[in-house]
Amino acid sequence: MVAVFFKASVEFTIPGMRSKLFVPGSRPELFEKALASAADSLSFDLEDAVAEPRKDEARGLLRDFLVGDAARGHAKTVIVRVNAMDTPHYAQDIAEVVREGVHLINLPKPASPQHVVQAAQAIADAARANGVANVPGLLLNMETPQSLRMGAELAKAHASVKGLQLGLGDLFEPYGIHRRELSAITQALFAVRMAAAEADVFAYDGAFANIKDMDGFRAECELSRRMGFLGKTCIHPSQIAIANEVFQPSQKEIDDALAVVEAASHADQHAVGAYVVDGKMIDVAFLPGAERTLRLAKACGLYEGELIV
């Protein structure tokens, strides 16, 4: 699946990511099972999901998988979350997991634009050393007060940054903010979405830890979807179907988007600035959102018409 968005006046593509399944790097028995899952993307984790004594082991297990035949011939987006830059594991993580077929490196807790530039350079160096033609991009975690405040600066620090991912657990827990406090969640989502919009990258939602509370998971998916997020992290396969359902356009959204695009084309031909669609007065500001919906629908196999460029 490939979702295509407008980036200012430049069209760009990112792999489809309605759902992203976490896979601990220390659990090789789960690697191929994850590839067989319905998740659009996989996040192989070397950070929080791996105990400190097993960091080196997990890195080696994941490296061996990434260079093996089992990691080939699938359509999923592959992400690797490495350890943070201030850990003794970071440099070796980058050196060993930047492999062909890895689309994104997920960087925890970036502290400055300089850190982002350094990470991008390290990834490029590892790609050259490992003979990787398609250099992975960066997915930056927004999980500290500092990163939330500097989101746009971090995202604009290097062209390899493709997205910002919100991490509510790390952002809330140290400061006594309840993980389910809706006002705080909404503010954090909005801050990340606006930072991503300013930098022309995608925004991605983090994990929901209670795997038994499917209603709660759905509610968070629906909230972040309404905020313009691309998808949501799943920490258990049982969450995948809900994320896939919520983060794809409904038929009504597709129909509404088509109506906006068609009306905009008609208005442009007649030099009209504002026009009415389904009883609502709209103008050119609505067109990018309509185009985005149609491109998402195309990526999900829900729309077979032509895309407007």
- Residue range 24-82, pLDDT digits in tens: 999 999 999 999 999 999 999 999 999 999 999 999 999 999 999 989 889 899 999 99
Q: Is residue 308 part of a domain?
A: no
**8-12, 61-65, 199-203: lowest mean pLDDT where?**
8-12
The predicted pLDDT at position 177 comes to: 98
The predicted pLDDT at position 10 comes to: 29
Mark whether 127 and 266 lie in a shared domain.
Answer: no
Mark whether 136 and 272 lie in a shared domain.
Answer: no
- 4 pLDDT exceeds 80? no
Q: Is residue 306 part of a domain?
A: no
Mark whether 153 and 227 lie in a shared domain.
Answer: yes
Mark whether 45 and 125 lie in a shared domain.
Answer: yes
User: Per-residue pLDDT averaged across 85-110, rounded?
Assistant: 98
Mark whether 86 and 32 lie in a shared domain.
Answer: yes
Mark whether 129 and 275 lie in a shared domain.
Answer: no
Q: Is residue 89 part of a domain?
A: yes
Q: Is residue 309 part of a domain?
A: no
User: Per-residue pLDDT averaged across 204-215, rounded?
Assistant: 97
Q: Is residue 83 part of a domain?
A: yes
- 288 pLDDT exceeds 90? no
- Domain count for the chain, please give it: 2
User: Per-residue pLDDT averaged across 237-258, rounded?
Assistant: 94
- 133 pLDDT exceeds 90? yes
- Indicate the pLDDT class of residue 114, thresholds 50, 70 and 90: very high
29 or 257, which is more confident? 29
- Indicate the pLDDT class of residue 260, thresholds 50, 70 and 90: confident
Query: What CATH code is carried by the domain that includes residue 52?
Result: 3.20.20.60
User: Per-residue pLDDT averaged across 187-203, rounded?
Assistant: 97
The predicted pLDDT at position 7 comes to: 44
Question: 277: domain range?
Answer: 251-299
Instruction: Please tell me the distance from the alpha carbon of residue 108 to that of residue 165, in angstroms, as a whole number.
Output: 9
- 153 pLDDT exceeds 90? yes
Spatial CA neighbour of 116 closest among 164, 149, 78, 80 = 164
Give backbone dihedrals phi and psi of 118, rounded to 5 degrees, phi first: -65, -40
Q: From the CB of residue 133, how many other CB atoms can be counted at a distance below 10 Å?
A: 6
E strand residue ranges, 167-277 = 202-204, 232-234, 275-277
The predicted pLDDT at position 298 comes to: 83
> What is the identity of the amino acid at 237?
P
Q: Is residue 307 part of a domain?
A: no
Mark whether 166 and 73 lie in a shared domain.
Answer: yes
Task: Give yes or no for a contact between 102 and 143, defined as CB atoms under 8 angstroms apart.
Answer: no
Q: Is residue 42 part of a domain?
A: yes
Task: Give yes or no for a contact between 109 and 81, defined as CB atoms under 8 angstroms apart.
Answer: no
55 or 9, which is more confident? 55
- Classify 56 as helix, strand or coil: helix
Spatial CA neighbour of 240 closest among 76, 120, 95, 71 = 76
Mark whether 208 and 283 lie in a shared domain.
Answer: no
- 193 pLDDT exceeds 80? yes
* Region for residue 131 given its phi and psi (left: phi exceeds 0; alpha: psi -120 to 50; beta: otherwise): left
Mean pLDDT of the chain: 91
The predicted pLDDT at position 270 comes to: 64
**7-11, 119-123, 145-149: lowest mean pLDDT where?**
7-11
Mark whether 12 and 95 lie in a shared domain.
Answer: yes
- 268 pLDDT exceeds 60? yes
Mark whether 132 and 44 lie in a shared domain.
Answer: yes
Q: Is residue 125 part of a domain?
A: yes
Spatial CA neighbour of 63 closest among 42, 91, 44 = 44
Give backbone dihedrals phi and psi of 174, rounded to 5 degrees, phi first: -65, -15
Mark whether 19 and 130 lie in a shared domain.
Answer: yes
User: What DSSP state is assigned to residue 307?
Assistant: P
pLDDT, tens digit, 9 for 90 and up, residues 166-186: 999 999 999 999 999 999 999
User: Per-residue pLDDT averaged across 132-139, rounded?
Assistant: 98
Helix, strand and coil in the chain, % to nearest 5: 45, 20, 35
Mark whether 289 and 150 lie in a shared domain.
Answer: no
Instruction: Please tell me the distance from the alpha carbon of residue 240 to that of residue 28, in angstroms, as a whole number.
Output: 20
- 2 pLDDT exceeds 60? no
